């Protein structure tokens, strides 16, 4: 048997030059192996860990050293202060996606009973964050992957959020309501020949969540083209997109007759979220 402190040292050595923060990741993986928090490790550094836990820890370390994202190993990711279950079937929620939540909440100021559609819900992160902030809103969340819908439903159940209806749908195909106040989407928007995509992302995250044809714009344009049929008068479409896609996205919004079209930047000052409103 080894102690917590020695196990962390061992993990740090194994992950050095393989991950950005070996010390932090070794601690996270050890905490996950023994089902405790990182704080527990600090307060109990001399305590021994069982052989079974150490074996589990070794397995996690090897997976991480090979490049598997830590969120898939832990089967958990925090988004908007919510603990979400994730699996390789869903995209790992990204911090930059919190911008679209901030913009939606701003638009929903004073509107407690809004109707919201989240297209391509994945882990459910966007729908769940909005459900948490707007408990009286009626939210529909769809994805064409039933595996994603299963995970999103588990997350809703774990968080006791019951104001979301989940449907398996190819974009709008099975959506039977046409007066949403807000339609929100973070669709796949990476071009299949993008050379900047990180190895970890390309190897481990679902292709169907990442890539779109026509330089990454096909799904964005499909959503922009069809959303007006599903929005109420003065309803707004909000989409997340790649940082080089702002111009193309605004042009498409404009071609489809939206008003008040503008793009917001994320924390890196990258164009990330574009919105437009329809008037009918
Ligand atoms: C970039 S991920 C976003 C997931 C989640 N909303 C988030 O922000 O982390 C795109 C999601 O769109 C879904 N998707 C891809 N093509 C779709 C389609 N034709 N119809 C519905 N959903 C689709 C994928 O399964 C994936 O969950």
The ligand 1 atom at the shortest distance from the C-alpha of residue 127 is: 6
CA nearest neighbour of 101 among 228, 227, 272, 257: 272
What is the CB neighbour count within 10 angstroms for residue 255? Answer: 11
Determine the residue of 167, 171, 187, 225 to mutate for testing ligand 1's pocket, defined as the one with the most ligand atoms within 8 A of the Cβ atom.
187
Mean pLDDT of 188-215: 94
CA atoms of 151 and 199, how far apart (whole Å): 24
Region of residue 246 (left: phi > 0; alpha: psi -120 to 50; beta: else)? alpha
pLDDT value for 275 = 98
Token output for 194: 């993008």
| Cβ contact 246:239 at 8 Å | no
Determine the residue of 86, 99, 104, 143 to mutate for testing ligand 1's pocket, defined as the one with the most ligand atoms within 8 A of the Cβ atom.
Answer: 143
Atom of ligand 1 nearest to the CA of 90: 27
pLDDT in tens, 19-76: 999 999 999 999 999 999 989 999 999 999 999 999 999 999 999 999 999 999 999 9
User: 1: pLDDT confidence band, cut at 50, 70 and 90?
Assistant: confident
Closest CA to 249 of 207, 210, 218, 270: 218
Question: What is the model's pLDDT at position 196?
Answer: 87
Cβ 85 vs Cβ 75: under 8 Å: yes
Its CATH class, for the domain covering 2-66, is mainly alpha
User: Residue 176: pLDDT above 90?
Assistant: yes
- The response to whether residue 242 sits with its C-beta less than 6 Å from ligand 1 reads no
CA 168 to centroid of ligand 1, rounded, Å: 11
The per-residue pLDDT for 280 is: 78
> Which residue lies with its CA nearest to atom 8 of ligand 1?
186
What is the CATH code of the structural domain delimited by 88-277?
3.40.50.150
Determine the average pLDDT of the residues in 117-136: 98
Name the residue with the closest Cα to ligand 1, atom 26.
209
- Of 73, 84, 96, 59, which is closest to residue 200 (Cα–Cα)? 73
Closest residue by CA, ligand 1 atom 19: 170
Q: Where are the alpha helices (DSSP H) in 162-205?
A: 199-204
Render pLDDT for 209-251 as a digit per residue (tens, 0 to 9): 999 999 999 999 999 999 999 999 999 999 999 999 999 999 9
**Ligand 1 binding pocket includes 188 (Cβ within 6 Å):** yes
Residues contacting 136, CB < 8 A, separation 6+:
112, 113, 163
Domain range list for the chain:
2-66, 88-277
Separation of alpha carbons 120 and 222, rounded Å = 13
Of 154 and 196, the structure prediction assigns the larger pLDDT to 154
The whole-number pLDDT of residue 154 equals 98
Asked if 29 contacts 61 with a C-beta cutoff of 8 angstroms, the reply is yes
Q: What is the token pair recorded at 33?
A: 């192996």
What is the structure's pLDDT at 162? 95
Closest residue by CA, ligand 1 atom 4 = 122
Residue carrying structure tokens 């111009």? 247
148 lines ligand 1 (CB under 6 A): yes
- pTM, two decimals, is 0.96
User: Is residue 195 pLDDT above 90, yes or no?
Assistant: no
């Amino acid at each position: 048997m080894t102690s917590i402190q020695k196990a962390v040292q061992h993990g740090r050595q194994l992950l050095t030059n393989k991950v950005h923060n070996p010390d932090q990741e070794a601690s996270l993986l050890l905490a996950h192996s023994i089902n405790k928090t990182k704080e527990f490790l600090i307060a109990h550094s001399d305590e021994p860990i069982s052989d079974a836990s150490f074996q589990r820890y070794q397995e996690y370390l090897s997976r991480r050293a090979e490049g598997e994202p830590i969120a898939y190993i832990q089967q958990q990711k925090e988004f908007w202060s919510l603990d979400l279950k994730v699996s390789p079937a869903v995209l790992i929620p990204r911090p930059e996606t919190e911008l679209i939540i901030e913009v939606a909440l701003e638009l929903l100021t004073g509107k407690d009973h809004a109707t919201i559609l989240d297209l391509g819900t994945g882990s459910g992160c966007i729908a769940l964050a909005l459900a948490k902030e707007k408990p009286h809103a009626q939210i529909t969340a769809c994805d064409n992957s039933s595996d994603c819908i299963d995970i999103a439903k588990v997350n809703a159940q774990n968080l006791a959020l019951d104001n979301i209806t989940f449907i398996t749908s190819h974009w709008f195909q099975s959506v039977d309501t046409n007066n949403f106040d807000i339609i929100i989407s973070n669709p796949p928007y990476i071009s299949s020949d993008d050379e900047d995509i990180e190895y970890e992302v390309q190897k481990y995250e679902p292709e169907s969540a990442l890539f779109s044809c026509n330089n990454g714009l096909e799904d964005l344009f499909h959503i922009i083209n069809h959303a007006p049929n599903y929005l109420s008068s003065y309803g707004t479409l909000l989409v997340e997109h790649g940082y080089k896609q702002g111009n193309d996205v605004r042009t498409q919004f404009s071609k489809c007759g939206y008003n008040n079209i503008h793009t917001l930047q994320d924390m890196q000052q990258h164009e990330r979220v574009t919105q437009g409103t329809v008037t009918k």
